[in-house]
Structure 1
Amino acid sequence: MLEGKKFLVAGAGGLLGSKLTADLISDHAHVIAADINLELMKERLVSQGLDTKNRALTCIMLDLNDASSVGALFASISGIDGAVNCSYPRNKRYGSKFFDVSLADFNENISLHLGSSFLFMQQCAAYFKREQAPFALVNISSIYGVIAPKFEVYDGTPMTMPVEYAAIKSALLHMSKYVASYVGDSGFRSNSVSPGGIFDHQPEQFLEQYKKQTLGKGMLDIEDVIGTIKFLLSDSARYVNGQNIIVDDGFSL
Protein backbone atom coordinates (compact mmCIF):
# COMPACT_ATOMS: atom_id res chain seq x y z
CA MET A 1 0.00 0.00 0.00
CA LEU A 2 2.97 2.31 0.53
CA GLU A 3 5.12 1.30 -2.42
CA GLY A 4 6.45 4.25 -4.36
CA LYS A 5 5.29 6.82 -1.81
CA LYS A 6 7.57 9.32 -0.10
CA PHE A 7 7.34 10.23 3.59
CA LEU A 8 9.04 12.62 5.98
CA VAL A 9 9.80 11.10 9.39
CA ALA A 10 10.81 13.64 12.03
CA GLY A 11 12.62 12.23 15.04
CA ALA A 12 13.89 9.33 12.95
CA GLY A 13 16.76 8.74 15.38
CA GLY A 14 14.45 7.70 18.19
CA LEU A 15 13.07 4.35 19.29
CA LEU A 16 9.88 4.68 17.25
CA GLY A 17 11.19 6.83 14.41
CA SER A 18 14.11 4.58 13.49
CA LYS A 19 11.94 1.45 13.41
CA LEU A 20 9.22 3.21 11.42
CA THR A 21 11.79 4.42 8.88
CA ALA A 22 13.11 0.88 8.40
CA ASP A 23 9.60 -0.53 8.01
CA LEU A 24 8.55 2.08 5.47
CA ILE A 25 11.63 1.39 3.37
CA SER A 26 10.98 -2.36 3.58
CA ASP A 27 7.55 -1.54 2.14
CA HIS A 28 9.31 0.11 -0.82
CA ALA A 29 8.58 3.68 0.21
CA HIS A 30 11.12 6.51 0.15
CA VAL A 31 11.85 8.18 3.49
CA ILE A 32 13.33 11.55 4.34
CA ALA A 33 14.65 10.80 7.82
CA ALA A 34 15.18 13.90 9.95
CA ASP A 35 16.62 14.35 13.42
CA ILE A 36 18.49 16.98 15.41
CA ASN A 37 21.42 14.57 15.88
CA LEU A 38 22.35 13.38 12.40
CA GLU A 39 25.13 10.97 13.38
CA LEU A 40 23.11 9.30 16.15
CA MET A 41 20.19 8.92 13.77
CA LYS A 42 22.39 7.20 11.21
CA GLU A 43 23.70 4.83 13.90
CA ARG A 44 20.15 3.98 14.96
CA LEU A 45 19.10 3.38 11.36
CA VAL A 46 22.09 1.12 10.76
CA SER A 47 21.09 -0.83 13.89
CA GLN A 48 17.72 -1.37 12.20
CA GLY A 49 19.51 -3.01 9.28
CA LEU A 50 19.44 -0.01 6.96
CA ASP A 51 22.23 1.13 4.68
CA THR A 52 22.36 4.91 4.98
CA LYS A 53 23.42 5.02 1.32
CA ASN A 54 20.17 3.32 0.29
CA ARG A 55 18.60 5.33 -2.54
CA ALA A 56 15.24 5.10 -0.77
CA LEU A 57 16.64 6.91 2.28
CA THR A 58 17.59 10.55 2.65
CA CYS A 59 19.08 11.58 6.00
CA ILE A 60 18.99 15.21 7.09
CA MET A 61 19.69 17.19 10.23
CA LEU A 62 16.62 19.09 11.45
CA ASP A 63 15.95 21.11 14.58
CA LEU A 64 12.17 21.27 14.88
CA ASN A 65 12.48 24.30 17.16
CA ASP A 66 14.28 26.29 14.49
CA ALA A 67 11.49 27.89 12.47
CA SER A 68 13.76 29.01 9.64
CA SER A 69 15.23 25.51 9.18
CA VAL A 70 11.83 23.84 9.24
CA GLY A 71 10.45 26.37 6.79
CA ALA A 72 13.44 25.90 4.50
CA LEU A 73 13.02 22.13 4.53
CA PHE A 74 9.37 22.27 3.50
CA ALA A 75 10.18 24.85 0.84
CA SER A 76 12.86 22.60 -0.65
CA ILE A 77 11.12 19.22 -0.74
CA SER A 78 8.56 18.01 -3.23
CA GLY A 79 6.52 14.92 -3.94
CA ILE A 80 6.01 13.82 -0.35
CA ASP A 81 2.81 11.93 0.42
CA GLY A 82 2.84 12.37 4.17
CA ALA A 83 4.76 12.94 7.37
CA VAL A 84 5.07 11.46 10.84
CA ASN A 85 6.32 13.42 13.82
CA CYS A 86 8.10 11.02 16.19
CA SER A 87 10.22 13.71 17.82
CA TYR A 88 10.37 14.18 21.59
CA PRO A 89 12.28 17.40 22.42
CA ARG A 90 12.72 18.19 26.14
CA ASN A 91 15.17 19.83 28.50
CA LYS A 92 17.61 18.09 30.83
CA ARG A 93 15.35 18.41 33.87
CA TYR A 94 12.36 16.81 32.19
CA GLY A 95 10.87 13.88 34.13
CA SER A 96 10.68 15.41 37.62
CA LYS A 97 7.80 14.55 39.91
CA PHE A 98 4.88 16.98 40.06
CA PHE A 99 5.91 19.04 43.11
CA ASP A 100 9.50 19.27 41.87
CA VAL A 101 8.64 20.82 38.49
CA SER A 102 9.39 24.53 38.30
CA LEU A 103 7.26 26.88 36.26
CA ALA A 104 10.27 27.68 34.08
CA ASP A 105 10.88 24.01 33.27
CA PHE A 106 7.19 23.36 32.67
CA ASN A 107 7.00 26.24 30.23
CA GLU A 108 10.22 25.29 28.48
CA ASN A 109 9.18 21.69 27.92
CA ILE A 110 5.74 22.72 26.68
CA SER A 111 7.41 25.11 24.27
CA LEU A 112 10.00 22.61 23.05
CA HIS A 113 7.61 19.75 22.38
CA LEU A 114 4.19 21.29 21.77
CA GLY A 115 5.60 24.37 20.08
CA SER A 116 7.68 22.33 17.63
CA SER A 117 4.68 20.08 16.96
CA PHE A 118 2.58 23.15 16.13
CA LEU A 119 5.27 24.32 13.70
CA PHE A 120 5.46 20.89 12.06
CA MET A 121 1.67 20.67 11.62
CA GLN A 122 1.53 24.22 10.30
CA GLN A 123 4.24 23.56 7.73
CA CYS A 124 2.65 20.28 6.62
CA ALA A 125 -0.63 22.13 6.05
CA ALA A 126 1.14 24.91 4.15
CA TYR A 127 2.94 22.32 2.02
CA PHE A 128 -0.40 20.74 1.10
CA LYS A 129 -1.89 24.11 0.22
CA ARG A 130 1.05 24.79 -2.05
CA GLU A 131 1.30 21.39 -3.72
CA GLN A 132 -2.42 20.50 -3.82
CA ALA A 133 -1.63 16.78 -3.69
CA PRO A 134 -2.96 14.25 -1.13
CA PHE A 135 -1.07 14.43 2.17
CA ALA A 136 -1.30 12.29 5.33
CA LEU A 137 0.02 13.68 8.61
CA VAL A 138 0.37 11.37 11.62
CA ASN A 139 0.98 12.80 15.09
CA ILE A 140 2.16 10.64 17.98
CA SER A 141 0.20 11.22 21.17
CA SER A 142 -0.22 8.77 24.07
CA ILE A 143 -2.81 7.05 26.23
CA TYR A 144 -1.85 9.69 28.79
CA GLY A 145 -3.16 12.26 26.38
CA VAL A 146 -6.51 10.49 26.69
CA ILE A 147 -6.80 9.30 30.31
CA ALA A 148 -5.42 10.37 33.68
CA PRO A 149 -2.19 8.66 34.76
CA LYS A 150 -2.35 5.42 36.69
CA PHE A 151 0.29 6.43 39.20
CA GLU A 152 0.15 3.09 41.01
CA VAL A 153 2.15 1.46 38.20
CA TYR A 154 5.13 3.59 39.26
CA ASP A 155 5.03 2.52 42.93
CA GLY A 156 8.41 1.35 44.21
CA THR A 157 10.32 2.80 41.25
CA PRO A 158 12.06 6.14 40.64
CA MET A 159 9.76 6.68 37.63
CA THR A 160 6.78 8.98 37.29
CA MET A 161 4.47 10.26 34.56
CA PRO A 162 5.65 13.84 33.93
CA VAL A 163 2.96 16.50 34.09
CA GLU A 164 4.40 18.16 30.98
CA TYR A 165 3.90 14.92 29.06
CA ALA A 166 0.20 14.76 29.92
CA ALA A 167 -0.30 18.41 28.97
CA ILE A 168 1.56 18.04 25.68
CA LYS A 169 0.04 14.77 24.52
CA SER A 170 -3.53 15.85 25.26
CA ALA A 171 -2.94 19.14 23.44
CA LEU A 172 -1.52 17.30 20.43
CA LEU A 173 -4.80 15.47 19.99
CA HIS A 174 -6.75 18.69 19.77
CA MET A 175 -4.20 20.44 17.56
CA SER A 176 -4.38 17.50 15.16
CA LYS A 177 -8.16 17.95 14.92
CA TYR A 178 -7.76 21.72 14.67
CA VAL A 179 -5.49 21.59 11.64
CA ALA A 180 -7.70 19.03 9.89
CA SER A 181 -10.71 21.28 10.42
CA TYR A 182 -8.84 24.45 9.47
CA VAL A 183 -7.54 23.07 6.17
CA GLY A 184 -10.99 21.64 5.50
CA ASP A 185 -10.02 19.47 2.56
CA SER A 186 -10.24 15.68 2.45
CA GLY A 187 -6.98 15.65 0.51
CA PHE A 188 -5.20 16.70 3.70
CA ARG A 189 -5.49 14.23 6.57
CA SER A 190 -4.29 14.84 10.12
CA ASN A 191 -4.63 11.93 12.53
CA SER A 192 -3.04 10.74 15.76
CA VAL A 193 -1.87 7.47 17.25
CA SER A 194 -1.92 7.08 21.04
CA PRO A 195 0.24 4.14 22.09
CA GLY A 196 0.33 2.60 25.52
CA GLY A 197 3.69 2.23 27.21
CA ILE A 198 6.48 1.03 24.93
CA PHE A 199 9.10 -1.37 26.25
CA ASP A 200 12.52 0.22 26.67
CA HIS A 201 14.14 -1.85 29.44
CA GLN A 202 12.17 -0.24 32.27
CA PRO A 203 12.50 -1.60 35.85
CA GLU A 204 11.01 -5.07 36.29
CA GLN A 205 8.67 -3.94 39.07
CA PHE A 206 7.19 -1.29 36.80
CA LEU A 207 6.78 -3.78 33.96
CA GLU A 208 4.90 -6.20 36.23
CA GLN A 209 2.62 -3.49 37.64
CA TYR A 210 1.93 -2.09 34.19
CA LYS A 211 1.07 -5.50 32.76
CA LYS A 212 -1.67 -5.98 35.37
CA GLN A 213 -3.46 -2.96 33.88
CA THR A 214 -3.59 -4.49 30.39
CA LEU A 215 -5.39 -7.50 28.93
CA GLY A 216 -2.19 -9.54 28.96
CA LYS A 217 0.40 -7.97 26.66
CA GLY A 218 1.90 -5.49 29.10
CA MET A 219 4.28 -2.95 27.61
CA LEU A 220 4.07 -2.75 23.85
CA ASP A 221 6.83 -3.51 21.40
CA ILE A 222 7.53 -0.91 18.73
CA GLU A 223 6.16 -3.29 16.10
CA ASP A 224 2.76 -3.20 17.85
CA VAL A 225 2.38 0.49 16.96
CA ILE A 226 3.95 0.64 13.50
CA GLY A 227 1.03 -1.01 11.68
CA THR A 228 -1.44 1.64 12.82
CA ILE A 229 0.85 4.45 11.68
CA LYS A 230 1.30 2.83 8.28
CA PHE A 231 -2.46 2.38 7.96
CA LEU A 232 -3.01 6.10 8.55
CA LEU A 233 -0.35 6.92 5.95
CA SER A 234 -1.92 4.62 3.38
CA ASP A 235 -4.73 5.16 0.90
CA SER A 236 -6.80 2.70 2.92
CA ALA A 237 -7.31 5.56 5.41
CA ARG A 238 -8.09 8.18 2.74
CA TYR A 239 -11.25 9.35 4.53
CA VAL A 240 -10.03 8.91 8.10
CA ASN A 241 -9.46 12.45 9.30
CA GLY A 242 -9.07 14.18 12.65
CA GLN A 243 -9.11 10.88 14.49
CA ASN A 244 -7.08 9.29 17.27
CA ILE A 245 -6.38 5.56 17.33
CA ILE A 246 -5.45 4.07 20.71
CA VAL A 247 -3.10 1.07 20.71
CA ASP A 248 -2.72 -0.08 24.32
CA ASP A 249 -4.06 -3.63 24.82
CA GLY A 250 -6.84 -2.33 27.03
CA PHE A 251 -4.74 -0.19 29.40
CA SER A 252 -7.18 2.70 29.02
CA LEU A 253 -10.31 0.62 29.63
Structure 2
Amino acid sequence: MKNLLNNKTVLVAGAGGLLGSRLVSGILEQGAKVIAADINVEKIKVSLAALNIDVDSPLIKLLALDITNEDNVKSLFSDGSHIDGAVNSTYPRNKDYGAHFFDVTLESFNENLSLHLGSSFVFSQQCAAYFTKHRKPFSLVNISSIYGVVAPDFSIYKNTRMTMPVEYAAIKSALLHLNKYVAKYVSDSRFRINCVSPGGIYDNQPKEFLAAYRSNTHGAGMLDVESVVGSVLFLLSDQSAYVVGQNIIVDDGFSL
Protein backbone atom coordinates (compact mmCIF):
# COMPACT_ATOMS: atom_id res chain seq x y z
CA MET A 1 0.00 0.00 0.00
CA LYS A 2 1.49 3.30 -1.09
CA ASN A 3 1.25 6.73 0.49
CA LEU A 4 0.62 5.47 4.03
CA LEU A 5 2.20 8.63 5.39
CA ASN A 6 0.88 11.33 3.06
CA ASN A 7 1.11 14.85 4.51
CA LYS A 8 2.97 13.65 7.61
CA THR A 9 6.34 14.73 8.95
CA VAL A 10 8.40 12.04 10.67
CA LEU A 11 11.52 12.49 12.78
CA VAL A 12 14.12 9.72 12.42
CA ALA A 13 16.77 9.69 15.13
CA GLY A 14 19.84 7.74 14.05
CA ALA A 15 19.20 8.52 10.39
CA GLY A 16 22.80 7.85 9.41
CA GLY A 17 22.74 4.27 10.65
CA LEU A 18 22.07 0.94 8.92
CA LEU A 19 18.39 0.88 9.89
CA GLY A 20 17.83 4.63 10.18
CA SER A 21 18.88 5.39 6.62
CA ARG A 22 16.54 2.70 5.25
CA LEU A 23 13.73 4.12 7.37
CA VAL A 24 14.30 7.55 5.86
CA SER A 25 14.04 6.02 2.40
CA GLY A 26 10.90 4.05 3.25
CA ILE A 27 9.18 6.98 4.93
CA LEU A 28 9.86 9.23 1.93
CA GLU A 29 8.45 6.58 -0.41
CA GLN A 30 5.23 6.61 1.62
CA GLY A 31 4.70 10.32 1.00
CA ALA A 32 6.02 11.91 4.19
CA LYS A 33 8.57 14.58 4.89
CA VAL A 34 11.52 13.50 7.04
CA ILE A 35 13.55 15.22 9.72
CA ALA A 36 16.74 13.15 9.60
CA ALA A 37 18.78 13.51 12.78
CA ASP A 38 22.05 11.98 13.90
CA ILE A 39 25.14 12.97 15.84
CA ASN A 40 27.03 13.38 12.55
CA VAL A 41 25.21 15.16 9.71
CA GLU A 42 27.91 14.20 7.21
CA LYS A 43 27.27 10.54 8.02
CA ILE A 44 23.59 11.06 7.21
CA LYS A 45 24.49 12.59 3.85
CA VAL A 46 26.79 9.69 2.95
CA SER A 47 24.29 7.01 4.05
CA LEU A 48 21.38 8.61 2.18
CA ALA A 49 23.44 9.30 -0.94
CA ALA A 50 24.32 5.59 -1.04
CA LEU A 51 20.56 4.94 -1.28
CA ASN A 52 20.21 7.49 -4.11
CA ILE A 53 18.32 9.92 -1.90
CA ASP A 54 18.65 13.61 -2.74
CA VAL A 55 19.70 15.17 0.58
CA ASP A 56 18.95 18.62 -0.84
CA SER A 57 15.31 17.73 -1.41
CA PRO A 58 12.78 20.02 0.32
CA LEU A 59 11.26 16.83 1.72
CA ILE A 60 14.30 16.22 3.94
CA LYS A 61 15.66 18.30 6.79
CA LEU A 62 19.04 17.25 8.23
CA LEU A 63 19.79 17.93 11.88
CA ALA A 64 22.66 17.25 14.26
CA LEU A 65 21.41 15.39 17.34
CA ASP A 66 23.29 13.96 20.30
CA ILE A 67 20.52 11.82 21.73
CA THR A 68 22.50 11.31 24.95
CA ASN A 69 22.39 15.07 25.62
CA GLU A 70 19.14 16.03 27.37
CA ASP A 71 19.29 19.69 26.36
CA ASN A 72 19.95 18.72 22.74
CA VAL A 73 16.89 16.46 22.68
CA LYS A 74 14.67 19.06 24.34
CA SER A 75 15.72 21.75 21.88
CA LEU A 76 14.88 19.42 18.98
CA PHE A 77 11.24 19.37 20.05
CA SER A 78 11.03 23.09 20.80
CA ASP A 79 12.33 24.55 17.53
CA GLY A 80 8.83 25.02 16.09
CA SER A 81 8.94 22.08 13.65
CA HIS A 82 5.68 20.22 13.08
CA ILE A 83 6.09 16.51 13.80
CA ASP A 84 3.50 13.73 13.37
CA GLY A 85 5.68 10.83 14.42
CA ALA A 86 9.16 9.71 15.35
CA VAL A 87 11.42 6.66 15.23
CA ASN A 88 14.36 6.16 17.54
CA SER A 89 16.86 3.93 15.75
CA THR A 90 19.93 5.18 17.64
CA TYR A 91 22.39 2.80 19.30
CA PRO A 92 24.69 4.77 21.63
CA ARG A 93 27.31 2.73 23.52
CA ASN A 94 30.77 3.08 25.04
CA LYS A 95 34.12 1.71 23.85
CA ASP A 96 33.88 -1.37 26.10
CA TYR A 97 30.47 -2.44 24.83
CA GLY A 98 30.32 -6.02 23.58
CA ALA A 99 32.56 -7.60 26.22
CA HIS A 100 31.78 -11.08 27.48
CA PHE A 101 29.71 -11.31 30.66
CA PHE A 102 32.53 -11.86 33.17
CA ASP A 103 34.57 -9.05 31.61
CA VAL A 104 31.88 -6.36 31.97
CA THR A 105 32.57 -3.92 34.80
CA LEU A 106 29.81 -2.30 36.81
CA GLU A 107 30.99 1.11 35.61
CA SER A 108 30.77 0.08 31.97
CA PHE A 109 27.39 -1.63 32.47
CA ASN A 110 25.92 1.47 34.10
CA GLU A 111 27.36 3.76 31.45
CA ASN A 112 25.83 1.74 28.62
CA LEU A 113 22.45 1.65 30.33
CA SER A 114 22.63 5.40 30.76
CA LEU A 115 23.67 5.99 27.15
CA HIS A 116 21.11 3.71 25.48
CA LEU A 117 18.16 3.29 27.85
CA GLY A 118 18.62 6.76 29.31
CA SER A 119 18.57 8.41 25.89
CA SER A 120 15.52 6.33 24.92
CA PHE A 121 13.81 7.58 28.07
CA VAL A 122 14.45 11.25 27.37
CA PHE A 123 13.53 10.90 23.69
CA SER A 124 10.24 9.19 24.59
CA GLN A 125 9.61 11.74 27.34
CA GLN A 126 10.06 14.65 24.97
CA CYS A 127 7.85 13.06 22.29
CA ALA A 128 5.14 12.74 24.96
CA ALA A 129 5.71 16.33 26.11
CA TYR A 130 5.48 17.54 22.50
CA PHE A 131 2.15 15.77 22.09
CA THR A 132 0.85 17.11 25.40
CA LYS A 133 1.67 20.63 24.26
CA HIS A 134 0.18 20.41 20.76
CA ARG A 135 -2.56 17.77 21.24
CA LYS A 136 -2.31 16.47 17.68
CA PRO A 137 -1.95 12.77 16.74
CA PHE A 138 1.58 11.47 17.28
CA SER A 139 3.10 8.01 16.79
CA LEU A 140 6.45 7.05 18.32
CA VAL A 141 8.26 3.83 17.41
CA ASN A 142 11.17 2.56 19.48
CA ILE A 143 13.41 -0.29 18.36
CA SER A 144 13.78 -3.18 20.79
CA SER A 145 14.98 -6.69 19.91
CA ILE A 146 14.09 -10.37 20.17
CA TYR A 147 16.63 -10.40 22.99
CA GLY A 148 14.41 -8.00 24.84
CA VAL A 149 11.74 -10.73 24.66
CA VAL A 150 13.56 -14.06 25.03
CA ALA A 151 16.80 -15.20 26.63
CA PRO A 152 19.90 -15.38 24.42
CA ASP A 153 20.87 -18.59 22.67
CA PHE A 154 24.56 -18.58 23.41
CA SER A 155 25.20 -21.74 21.38
CA ILE A 156 25.03 -19.76 18.13
CA TYR A 157 28.07 -17.73 19.20
CA LYS A 158 30.35 -20.79 19.56
CA ASN A 159 33.48 -20.72 17.41
CA THR A 160 33.24 -16.93 17.06
CA ARG A 161 34.55 -13.98 19.04
CA MET A 162 31.03 -12.63 19.27
CA THR A 163 28.67 -12.63 22.24
CA MET A 164 25.26 -11.25 23.12
CA PRO A 165 26.05 -8.28 25.39
CA VAL A 166 24.35 -8.37 28.79
CA GLU A 167 23.72 -4.62 28.55
CA TYR A 168 21.79 -5.15 25.34
CA ALA A 169 19.41 -7.65 26.94
CA ALA A 170 18.82 -5.38 29.93
CA ILE A 171 18.25 -2.29 27.78
CA LYS A 172 15.98 -3.83 25.17
CA SER A 173 13.75 -5.61 27.69
CA ALA A 174 13.45 -2.46 29.79
CA LEU A 175 12.55 -0.46 26.68
CA LEU A 176 9.45 -2.61 26.14
CA HIS A 177 8.15 -1.77 29.60
CA LEU A 178 9.16 1.88 29.29
CA ASN A 179 6.87 2.08 26.26
CA LYS A 180 3.96 0.73 28.30
CA TYR A 181 4.65 3.18 31.12
CA VAL A 182 4.66 6.17 28.76
CA ALA A 183 1.50 4.99 27.00
CA LYS A 184 -0.36 4.63 30.30
CA TYR A 185 0.96 7.92 31.65
CA VAL A 186 -0.16 9.96 28.64
CA SER A 187 -3.38 7.94 28.32
CA ASP A 188 -4.69 9.61 25.17
CA SER A 189 -5.71 7.70 22.03
CA ARG A 190 -4.03 10.30 19.86
CA PHE A 191 -0.60 9.51 21.32
CA ARG A 192 0.76 6.08 20.41
CA ILE A 193 4.07 4.52 21.39
CA ASN A 194 5.06 1.05 20.18
CA CYS A 195 8.12 -1.11 19.54
CA VAL A 196 9.47 -3.19 16.71
CA SER A 197 11.75 -6.04 17.80
CA PRO A 198 13.91 -7.36 14.98
CA GLY A 199 15.75 -10.63 14.93
CA GLY A 200 19.36 -10.57 13.86
CA ILE A 201 20.13 -8.17 11.02
CA TYR A 202 22.81 -9.11 8.51
CA ASP A 203 25.93 -6.97 8.79
CA ASN A 204 28.81 -9.14 7.54
CA GLN A 205 28.87 -11.46 10.55
CA PRO A 206 31.12 -14.58 10.50
CA LYS A 207 29.93 -17.54 8.39
CA GLU A 208 29.85 -19.86 11.41
CA PHE A 209 27.50 -17.51 13.23
CA LEU A 210 25.26 -17.00 10.20
CA ALA A 211 24.84 -20.75 9.73
CA ALA A 212 24.08 -21.36 13.41
CA TYR A 213 21.62 -18.49 13.51
CA ARG A 214 19.83 -19.68 10.37
CA SER A 215 19.25 -23.10 11.94
CA ASN A 216 17.09 -21.40 14.58
CA THR A 217 14.83 -19.65 12.05
CA HIS A 218 12.37 -20.92 9.47
CA GLY A 219 14.97 -20.52 6.75
CA ALA A 220 15.62 -16.82 6.31
CA GLY A 221 18.50 -16.61 8.77
CA MET A 222 19.79 -13.12 9.47
CA LEU A 223 17.37 -10.56 8.11
CA ASP A 224 18.02 -7.91 5.52
CA VAL A 225 17.51 -4.55 7.19
CA GLU A 226 14.70 -3.78 4.74
CA SER A 227 12.65 -6.54 6.39
CA VAL A 228 12.19 -4.36 9.46
CA VAL A 229 11.06 -1.20 7.68
CA GLY A 230 7.50 -2.28 6.85
CA SER A 231 6.49 -2.84 10.46
CA VAL A 232 7.77 0.60 11.43
CA LEU A 233 5.88 2.23 8.56
CA PHE A 234 2.69 0.47 9.67
CA LEU A 235 3.05 1.75 13.24
CA LEU A 236 3.72 5.30 12.02
CA SER A 237 0.63 5.25 9.81
CA ASP A 238 -3.06 5.67 10.54
CA GLN A 239 -3.48 1.99 9.62
CA SER A 240 -2.33 1.19 13.16
CA ALA A 241 -4.72 3.55 14.95
CA TYR A 242 -5.36 2.30 18.51
CA VAL A 243 -2.32 0.03 18.48
CA VAL A 244 -0.70 1.26 21.69
CA GLY A 245 2.10 -0.12 23.87
CA GLN A 246 2.62 -3.13 21.63
CA ASN A 247 5.67 -4.93 20.28
CA ILE A 248 5.91 -6.33 16.75
CA ILE A 249 8.47 -9.13 16.50
CA VAL A 250 10.14 -9.58 13.10
CA ASP A 251 12.43 -12.61 13.35
CA ASP A 252 11.31 -15.43 11.01
CA GLY A 253 10.36 -17.54 14.02
CA PHE A 254 13.68 -17.30 15.92
CA SER A 255 11.97 -16.49 19.23
CA LEU A 256 9.39 -19.31 19.01
TM-score under structure 1 length normalisation: 0.99
Task: Write the distance in 1 (CA, Å) between the matches of 2:180 and 2:80.
Answer: 25
Task: Write the distance in 1 (CA, Å) between the matches of 2:80 and 2:42.
Answer: 22
Aligned partner of 1:219 among 215, 219, 222: 222
3-state DSSP class of the match of 1:48?
coil
Aligned partner of 2:167 among 164, 169, 180: 164
4+ aligned runs moved over 4 Å, structure 1: none
Cα offsets for 1:72-106 (capped at 9, x unmatched):
11011332110000000000110000000011100
2:102 is matched with which residue?
99
3-state DSSP class of the match of 2:136?
coil
Contact 1:196–1:251 under 8 Å retained in 2: yes
Written as runs of structure 1 = structure 2, the 5 A alignment for 1:82-97 is 82-97=85-100
1:140 is matched with which residue?
143
3-state DSSP class of the match of 1:8?
strand
1:50 is matched with which residue?
53
Contact 1:22–1:49 under 8 Å retained in 2: no
Written as runs of structure 1 = structure 2, the 5 A alignment for 1:152-231 is 152-231=155-234
The alignment status of 1:65 with 2:105, answered yes or no, reads no
Identity of aligned residues (%): 61
The alignment status of 1:248 with 2:222, answered yes or no, reads no
Task: Write the distance in 1 (CA, Å) between the matches of 2:171 and 2:148.
Answer: 7
Structure 1 unaligned residues grouped into runs of 5+: none
Structure 2 unaligned residues grouped into runs of 5+: none
Task: Write the distance in 2 (CA, Å) between the matches of 1:177 and 1:42.
Answer: 34
3-state DSSP class of the match of 2:54?
coil
Cα offsets for 1:165-216 (capped at 9, x unmatched):
0000000000011100000001000000000000001001100000000011
Amino acid at match of 1:130: K
3-state DSSP class of the match of 2:46?
helix
Q: CA deviation at 1:68?
A: 1.1
Aligned residues: 253
2:116 is matched with which residue?
113
3-state DSSP class of the match of 1:108?
helix
Task: Write the distance in 2 (CA, Å) between the matches of 1:232 and 1:157.
Answer: 36
Task: Write the distance in 2 (CA, Å) between the matches of 1:159 and 1:248.
Answer: 20
Task: Write the distance in 2 (CA, Å) between the matches of 1:69 and 1:212.
Answer: 43
Cα offsets for 1:33-53 (capped at 9, x unmatched):
000111112111111111110
Q: CA deviation at 1:67?
A: 1.0
RMSD of Structure 2 on Structure 1 (CA): 0.7
Task: Write the distance in 2 (CA, Å) between the matches of 1:41 and 1:105.
Answer: 28
3-state DSSP class of the match of 1:60?
strand
Task: Write the distance in 2 (CA, Å) between the matches of 1:78 and 1:183.
Answer: 21
3-state DSSP class of the match of 1:250?
coil
Written as runs of structure 1 = structure 2, the 5 A alignment for 1:75-86 is 75-86=78-89
Amino acid at match of 1:97: H
Task: Write the distance in 2 (CA, Å) between the matches of 1:22 and 1:107.
Answer: 34
Amino acid at match of 2:106: L
Contact 1:64–1:120 under 8 Å retained in 2: yes
